[in-house]
Structure 1
């Protein structure tokens, strides 16, 4: 069977989290999982991330390529892809349900979608972590009535549509995933039932209050692309 999907995972020093993601990919019941190329775009890891990724070579068609900041790594992987669809995943997520990828791919085909995403939940978070991710999911659904909203944790793109939008803008210093997803036509976007699990390290890094503030600032500047090109301290914090 011919592969139809490429998975791209930007990573740097993700030796603790990346294996959880890769194991969750191994558990997917998507029938072409074994033929699906998994590209880890590594940004110079020094903690064994590369070796751990390659250790999944007996279970996944995995390859490590040179990356950079997430937008750079994602674009590198997308340029190497020849399949109709490309799935971008963050290295610190985990697909919680073995049916998620199969169902997302089915939605892409049936509805001729350009982008599909899913919900987010915290793996071992506290009350505020869970509440903020629930709020994110709610605002994602509400906001998508005006403009699609997806995060880099799970973005399943039709590859040609991805490049028509220009790929991830490598000049963006903040919310490069939202900057891209909001360009997708509303009728070509869906939020697939289910979720990916992630950590609360984003909140630990910046604080709950600041993350909420940045989220609403992003929504408020939806029509101002220049906002995303100014440093918000996201990459330099923590």
Structure 2
């Protein structure tokens, strides 16, 4: 049975990290470790996470002094004990069979690196349409110019080491760059599993605005390469909880 290292990056996620850890405690596949890598949160994210040590015996909470999305994922990969890696953001939710289904697809398709789709279950028709278009883009580009959602990505320690991990100099679409570089050596595909993605980012930035931001970013990437000099300003830590 495949053992997995699950890397979760956090920054001020005390209200959400518990939901994901609870989802993991209920997985039908239980052969995994969880590594929470915190970007020096100002709230009680680490304390909430440590509260799941009994429900998740193979849980490690690592608090960094610095902040950074790519830095957090790379740190988690370094701490990982198992070959199979799954990178998650703290604000996603998983069904009880997510790991079972994902590992089956990865093994069956012999994939080192892969992506998952976002589900819009219980969201409005507008969000469902937006998610459907985004998922269609993920599927289409996977064959020639891979794009990915870093909130849920699959890799291996071998692949991660071979490509040098996530590029910490990239300011936007570091997850897409990871998939693109990995696809030069291994076949990259989307697998038919989905995760629930917290819509707070879309609610605060606007579905259309965020969609256009990522469209512009990837068109720019396709023609001019990765963004390392803040060509497009975008903050990842400005999302607030709804009152």
TM-score where L is the length of structure 1: 0.89
Distance 1:147 1:162 in 2: 19
State which drifts further: 80-89 or 121-130: 121-130
How far does the alpha carbon of each residue in 1:100-121 deviate from its partner, in whole angstroms, 9 at most, with x for none? 2122222323333121221102
Structure 1 runs not aligned, ≥5 long: none
Distance 1:147-1:88 versus aligned 2 partners, 3 A rule: same
Question: Distance between the aligned counterparts of 1:227 and 1:71, measured in 2?
Answer: 14
1:6–1:12 Cα change, 3 Å:
same
Q: Give, in whole Å, the separation in 2 of the partners of 1:231 and 1:196.
A: 30
Q: Indicate the residue corresponding to 2:227 in structure 1.
A: 227
Q: Provide the rounded CA distance (Å) in 2 between the counterparts of 1:124 and 1:233.
A: 31
Residue deviations 1:48-73, cap 9 Å, x none? 11111011111111111124221111
Find the counterpart in structure 2 of residue 89 from structure 1: 88
Please state if 1:49 is matched with 2:41: no
Q: CA offsets, 1:112-148, max 9 Å, x none?
A: 3121221102465433322221111011011112122
User: Are residues 123 and 62 of structure 1, via their aligned partners in 2, closer, same or farther at CA, if it must alter by over 3 Å?
Assistant: farther
| Structure 1 segment 2-17 matched on structure 2, within 5 A | 4-17=3-16
What does residue 112 of structure 2 align with? 114
Distance in 2 of aligned mates of 1:161 and 1:145: 18
Distance 1:155 1:7, change over 3 A: same
- Aligned counterparts of 2:190 and 2:109: Cα–Cα separation in 1: 12
Unpaired stretches in structure 2, ≥5 consecutive residues: none
Runs of 4+ in 1 over 6 A off after TM superposition: none
Find the counterpart in structure 1 of residue 137 from structure 2. 139
1:156-198 CA-to-partner distances (Å, cap 9, x unmatched) read 1021112211111111111111111122328622322231012
| Deviation for aligned residue 1:45 | 1.8
**Number of aligned positions between the proteins:** 233
- Where do residues 115-194 of structure 1 align in structure 2 (5 Å cutoff)? 115-122=113-120, 125-185=123-183, 188-194=187-193
SS of corresponding position for 1:76: helix
For residue 86 of structure 1, give the secondary structure of its aligned residue in structure 2: strand
